[in-house]
């Protein structure tokens, strides 16, 4: 048992993550061909517009659909289906918490691939300043609010039906993910109405921004993701947890250095035990980059399955430098 | 008192300066039984460097550093060799008194004294550059004096606080500028390859240090603190690869000792955490006194040992830019030096070390005139007191005059720790 634990703590996390993400990507983007269907309440961007290949559908699509029903229906019997839908989504979510973002979300994986491409080209990434970060960090809540309010407004008769599923219209996943199964039909601007024109053009622009942004900034889109905001709001009872023991932390900032989401609290906050912040994607890179035994831990249902260790840190960093660990 | 500056015809190894080192080294080796065999490398190294004045000159560009904040990986990467100039010799302390006010830190005075001398011990050769991180006031002001002695000095600008994002970015820029300075001096470019090779060497040395550090958790102790201070002191000037191999050998021997159930000190010897001003050879008088009086130094929080080697660099992307920024990060963020505005990290580190090394008491050394350590004394004492850990505060300098008085105080402190322990059980 101890040997298994040591082996896990010494894992080459980046490599493990790469393969797991690849497998998850293949499953979610092509699983449909093998008749895999995980339902339409999935807590990440397994895009519903990828109609042939998808192995399940991102919950945001049905959620916006449901919310845009006429109010008498929505606040009547149809309300039950909204609640049960949310219930199923919630059950999926609590298993992995934000691990869905760091390990499963195909759109997240694509950003990591773009990052890998940039790294190969030897270009450096950019970072936000703290001020920018604080401002940008709020956008995802705004998008979440709009994503709920606009469909409700449609149901109430205030907005045009062309605004239906407003977030999907501007989500880069709608254009990019179907592309992987040869479907480029989403790359169009809909001229049928003024609203449709504006929304699809906006979507096109955001997709361009997504590709360019991910090239200069790690996990560029995740800062703005309303799914991420929704996750955080309901993350309390989740099973997968990121824990920090502030007493063991030297505040060396190694975790912050490797954090794709530039979360400063991971290094500086020594009081909060549940250290998962709203931008976190639970990629666990911070745990792998922490040299202090037990300072950072990943728990599943209160059982620690991966924690920072000195031996793990040394093994990983020396592998990074290209130095094999000498035997002691 | 003889003028320490006299240039007489006597050979170095018979000078007062050599005798100061020799006396200390004799105490370290002869006053204890069962020194680890692997320590012979270090005893021999110090005997050659300090007692016989043997040359340790390196090929190529030589860069002196006056503080742990100068990133050695960058210096190595550009093909230069760093040598830490912080000095522990009373002989040089007296010479350095000419430069600094009477009430100033022995370490700074000794470093200046050494740099002003013609025959520098340890003999590291002519320095092409001295990197002087702008840490405490005394080191800052020492910069101009070093220039006055004819040295080329580069002031590496360190922020006065380390928590804020501004400080981090400011320091990253300082370090990048330092790279430019090194480039001018060495005529070499920092590349991914040479920086990775340099980081690999330092990383291996740090891994060896951490293994040694972890062996000191064992109770009863496998190794004495006076030996570990000597080991980390050697890192100041020794060839890094040879040093690492010697430490790895020592670790292997300690692993064997661990298996054999060997005790380097008495089972009931009070376990001491050493903090404050750094013990630097030949000024190991305080750790030595503790261990001669029956205590054992099991851990330290000083910039001549733990603080210098413990914290390791994490890099996300192995590209030059990211590597340099990550290095900068390591040299600033975890540092527990009292020059920073906030002492929280130091307090937390001390409590954590005291707990994880099952320490019975803390000895806090402050060199008279080192204001920052003197000023932090009170808060450290209070914090440790709250955590139920006894602390002895000692203000001293390089002079051997207070040895008698110190012995009495240390013996009393160790005795009180033993009593405390007995009463508890």
User: Chain A residues contacting B, CB < 8 Å?
Assistant: 119, 122, 124-125, 129-130, 247-255, 257-258, 264, 267-268, 270, 285, 289-291, 310, 313-314, 317-318, 320-323, 325-326, 328
Q: Please state the φ and ψ torsions of residue B105, each to the nearest 5 degrees.
A: -70, 135
3-state secondary structure of B308: helix
- How far apart, in whole angstroms, are the C-alpha atoms of residue B99 and residue B102? 9
Residue B394 predicted with pLDDT over 50: yes
Select the residue from B163, B168, B192, B207 to test the A interface by mutation, using most A Cβ atoms within 10 A.
Answer: B207
Convert the pLDDT of each residue in B127-144 to its tens digit. Answer: 999 999 999 999 999 999
Q: Quote the DSSP letter at residue B67.
A: S
pLDDT of residue B7: 53
B163 close contact with A: CB closer than 8 A = yes
β-pairing, B271-276 vs B361-367, is parallel
Largest CA-CA distance found in chain A, in angstroms, rounded = 72
3-state secondary structure of A296: strand
Give the dihedral of Cα atoms B252, B254, B258, B262; nearest 10 deg: 140
Closest CA to B301 of B383, B204, B406, B415: B383
CB burial of A158-179 (b: ≥16 within 10 Å; e: otherwise) equals ebeebbbbbbbbbbbbbbbbbe
pLDDT of residue A327: 44
Chain B: residue nearest A319 by CA?
Answer: B200
Residue B322: which of A124, A130, A291 has the nearest Cβ? Answer: A124
Cβ atoms of residues B113 and B136 within 8 Å = no
pLDDT of residue B3: 52
Residue B6 pLDDT grade (very low, low, confident, very high; cuts 50, 70, 90): low
Chain B: residue nearest A268 by CA?
Answer: B163
Residue contact B315–A129, C-beta within 8 A: no
CB-CB neighbors (< 8 A) of B349 in chain A: 250
Chain B: residue nearest A118 by CA?
Answer: B317
Compute the nearest-CA separation of B188 from chain A (Å). Answer: 20
- How far apart, in whole angstroms, are the C-alpha atoms of residue A261 and residue A143? 18
Residue B4 pLDDT grade (very low, low, confident, very high; cuts 50, 70, 90): low
Residue A326 predicted with pLDDT over 50: no
Tell me which of A314-328, B33-47, B241-255 is least confident: A314-328
Compute the nearest-CA separation of B174 from chain A (Å). Answer: 18
Note the helical H segments in A156-251: 166-170, 172-179, 194-216, 226-233
**Cα dist from B216 to B188, B219, B221, B389, whole Å:** 41, 8, 6, 19
Residue contact A247–B351, C-beta within 8 A: yes
Q: Please state the φ and ψ torsions of residue A129, each to the nearest 5 degrees.
A: -80, 165
pLDDT of residue B102: 84
Q: Quote the DSSP letter at residue A223.
A: G
Convert the pLDDT of each residue in A153-166 to its tens digit. Answer: 998 888 888 888 99
| Dihedral sign of CA atoms B389, B392, B393, B396 in order | negative
Q: Please state the φ and ψ torsions of residue B299, each to the nearest 5 degrees.
A: -155, 160
CB-CB neighbors (< 8 A) of B346 in chain A: none
Chain A: residue nearest B251 by CA?
Answer: A328
| Dihedral sign of CA atoms A46, A50, A55, A61 in order | positive
Compute the nearest-CA separation of B227 from chain A (Å). Answer: 20
Residues B96-115: what's their mean pLDDT? 94
Residue contact B200–A321, C-beta within 8 A: yes
Chain A: residue nearest B213 by CA?
Answer: A310
Convert the pLDDT of each residue in A270-295 to its tens digit. Answer: 999 999 999 999 999 999 999 999 99
Residue contact A257–B325, C-beta within 8 A: yes
CB-CB neighbors (< 8 A) of B214 in chain A: 310
pLDDT of residue B326: 96
Element (H, E) at A321: helix A310-321
Compute the nearest-CA separation of A325 from chain B (Å). Answer: 8
B161 close contact with A: CB closer than 8 A = no
Residue B342 predicted with pLDDT over 60: yes
**DSSP string over B236-267:** TTS-HHHHHHHHHHHHHHHHHHHHHT--SS-T
Cβ atoms of residues B146 and B112 within 8 Å = yes
Compute the nearest-CA separation of B186 from chain A (Å). Answer: 23
Name the token pair of A44: 């990440």
Query: pLDDT above 70 covers what percent of chain B?
Result: 98
pLDDT of residue B9: 67
Q: Please state the φ and ψ torsions of residue B401, each to the nearest 5 degrees.
A: -60, -30
Cβ atoms of residues A244 and A296 within 8 Å = yes
Residues B341-350: what's their mean pLDDT? 95
B170 close contact with A: CB closer than 8 A = no
Residue B312: which of A129, A130, A291 has the nearest Cβ? Answer: A291
CA angle A177, A181, A182 (to 5 degrees): 105
CB-CB neighbors (< 8 A) of B351 in chain A: 247
Select the residue from B68, B170, B317, B345 to test the A interface by mutation, using most A Cβ atoms within 10 A.
Answer: B317
- How far apart, in whole angstroms, are the C-alpha atoms of residue B160 and residue B173? 15
Q: ipTM of this predicted complex?
A: 0.90
pLDDT of residue A321: 83
Cβ atoms of residues A18 and A98 within 8 Å = no
Provide the mean pLDDT of chain A.
Answer: 93
CB-CB neighbors (< 8 A) of A129 in chain B: 165
Cβ atoms of residues B362 and B386 within 8 Å = no
- How far apart, in whole angstroms, are the C-alpha atoms of residue B55 and residue B121? 9
Residue B1 pLDDT grade (very low, low, confident, very high; cuts 50, 70, 90): very low
Residues 348-367 of B with CB under 8 A from A: 348-349, 351-352
Compute the nearest-CA separation of A294 from chain B (Å). Answer: 12
Provide the mean pLDDT of chain B.
Answer: 94
Residue contact B314–A264, C-beta within 8 A: no
Residues A42-50: what's their mean pLDDT? 95
Select the residue from B253, B258, B316 to test the A interface by mutation, using most A Cβ atoms within 10 A.
Answer: B316
Compute the nearest-CA separation of A67 from chain B (Å). Answer: 42
Residue B118 pLDDT grade (very low, low, confident, very high; cuts 50, 70, 90): confident
Residue-range domains of chain A with CATH: 13-232 (no CATH), 239-321 (3.30.70)
Convert the pLDDT of each residue in B29-41 to its tens digit. Answer: 999 999 999 999 9
pLDDT of residue B5: 54
Residue A252: which of B255, B311, B352 has the nearest Cβ? Answer: B311
- How far apart, in whole angstroms, are the C-alpha atoms of residue B392 and residue B332? 28
Residue B14 predicted with pLDDT over 90: no
CB-CB neighbors (< 8 A) of A291 in chain B: 311-312, 314
Q: Where are the domains of chain B?
A: 15-424
CB burial of A58-91 (b: ≥16 within 10 Å; e: otherwise) equals bbbbbbbbbbbbeeeebeeebeeebeebbeebee
Tell me which of B5-19, B54-68, B336-350 is least confident: B5-19
Residue contact B314–A326, C-beta within 8 A: no
pLDDT of residue B395: 96
3-state secondary structure of B123: strand
Residue contact A254–B313, C-beta within 8 A: yes
């Amino acid at each position: 048992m101890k040997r298994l634990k040591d082996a896990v703590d010494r894992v080459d996390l980046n490599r493990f993550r790469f393969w797991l993400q690849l497998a998850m990507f293949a499953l979610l983007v092509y699983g449909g061909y093998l008749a895999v269907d995980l339902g339409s309440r999935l807590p990440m961007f397994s895009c519903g517009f990828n109609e042939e290949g998808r192995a399940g559908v991102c919950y945001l699509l049905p959620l916006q659909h449901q919310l845009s029903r006429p109010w008498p229906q929505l606040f009547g019997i149809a309300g039950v289906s909204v609640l049960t839908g949310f219930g199923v989504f919630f059950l999926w979510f609590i298993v992995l918490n934000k691990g869905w973002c760091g390990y499963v979300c195909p759109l997240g994986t694509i950003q990591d691939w773009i990052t890998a491409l940039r790294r190969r080209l030897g270009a450096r990434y950019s970072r936000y300043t703290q001020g920018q970060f604080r401002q940008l960090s709020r956008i995802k809540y705004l998008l979440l609010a709009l994503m709920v309010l606009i469909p409700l407004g449609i149901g109430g008769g205030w907005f045009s039906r062309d605004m239906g599923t407003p977030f999907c219209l501007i989500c880069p996943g709608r254009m990019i993910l179907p592309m992987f199964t040869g479907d480029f039909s989403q790359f169009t601007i809909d001229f049928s109405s003024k609203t449709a024109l504006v929304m699809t053009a906006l979507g096109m622009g955001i997709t361009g921004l997504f590709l360019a942004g991910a090239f200069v900034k790690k996990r560029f889109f995740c800062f703005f993701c309303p799914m991420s905001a929704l996750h955080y709001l309901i993350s309390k009872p989740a099973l997968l947890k990121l824990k920090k023991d502030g007493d063991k932390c030297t505040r060396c900032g190694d975790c912050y250095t490797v954090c794709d989401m530039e979360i400063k609290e991971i290094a500086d906050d020594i009081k909060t035990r549940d250290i998962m912040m709203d931008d976190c994607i639970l990629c666990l890179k911070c745990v792998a980059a922490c040299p202090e035994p037990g300072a950072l831990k990943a728990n599943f249902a209160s059982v620690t399955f991966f924690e920072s260790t000195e031996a793990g840190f040394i093994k990983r960093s020396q592998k990074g430098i290209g130095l094999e660990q000498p035997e002691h | 008192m003889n003028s320490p500056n006299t240039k007489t015809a006597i050979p170095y190894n018979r000078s007062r300066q050599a005798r100061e080192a020799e006396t200390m080294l004799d105490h370290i080796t002869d006053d204890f039984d069962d020194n680890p065999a692997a320590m012979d490398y270090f005893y021999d190294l110090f005997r050659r460097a300090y007692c016989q004045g043997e040359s340790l000159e390196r090929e190529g560009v030589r860069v002196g550093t006056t503080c742990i904040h100068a990133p050695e990986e960058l210096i190595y990467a550009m093909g230069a060799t760093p040598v830490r100039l912080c000095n522990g010799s009373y002989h040089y302390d007296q010479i350095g008194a000419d430069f600094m006010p009477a009430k100033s830190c022995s370490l700074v005075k000794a470093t200046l004294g050494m740099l002003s001398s013609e025959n520098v011990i340890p003999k590291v050769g002519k320095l092409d550059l001295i990197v002087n991180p702008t840490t405490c006031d005394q080191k800052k002001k020492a910069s101009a004096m070093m220039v006055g002695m004819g040295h080329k000095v580069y002031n590496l600008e360190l922020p006065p606080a380390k928590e804020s994002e501004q400080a981090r970015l400011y320091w990253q820029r300082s370090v990048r500028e330092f790279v430019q300075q090194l480039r001018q001096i060495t005529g070499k470019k920092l590349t991914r390859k040479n920086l990775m090779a340099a980081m690999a060497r330092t990383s291996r040395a740090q891994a060896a240090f951490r293994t040694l550090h972890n062996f000191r958790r064992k109770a009863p102790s496998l190794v004495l603190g006076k030996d570990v201070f000597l080991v980390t002191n050697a890192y100041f000037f020794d060839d890094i690869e040879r040093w690492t191999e010697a430490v790895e050998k020592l670790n292997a021997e300690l692993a064997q000792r661990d298996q054999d159930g060997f005790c380097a000190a008495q089972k009931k010897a009070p376990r001491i955490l050493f903090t404050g001003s750094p013990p630097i050879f030949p000024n190991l008088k305080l750790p030595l006194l503790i261990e001669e009086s029956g205590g054992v130094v099991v851990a330290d929080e000083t910039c001549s040992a733990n603080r210098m080697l413990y914290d390791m660099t994490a890099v996300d992307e192995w590209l030059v830019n990211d590597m340099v920024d990550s290095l900068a990060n390591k040299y600033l963020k975890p540092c527990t030096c009292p020059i920073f505005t906030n002492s929280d990290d130091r307090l937390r580190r001390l409590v954590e070390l005291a707990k994880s090394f099952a320490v019975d008491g803390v000895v806090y050394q402050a060199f008279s005139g080192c204001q920052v350590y003197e000023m932090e004394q009170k808060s450290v004492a209070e914090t440790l007191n709250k955590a139920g850990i006894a602390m002895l505060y000692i203000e001293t300098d390089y002079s051997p005059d207070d040895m008698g008085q110190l012995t009495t105080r240390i013996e009393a402190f160790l005795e009180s720790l033993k009593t405390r322990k007995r009463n508890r059980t």
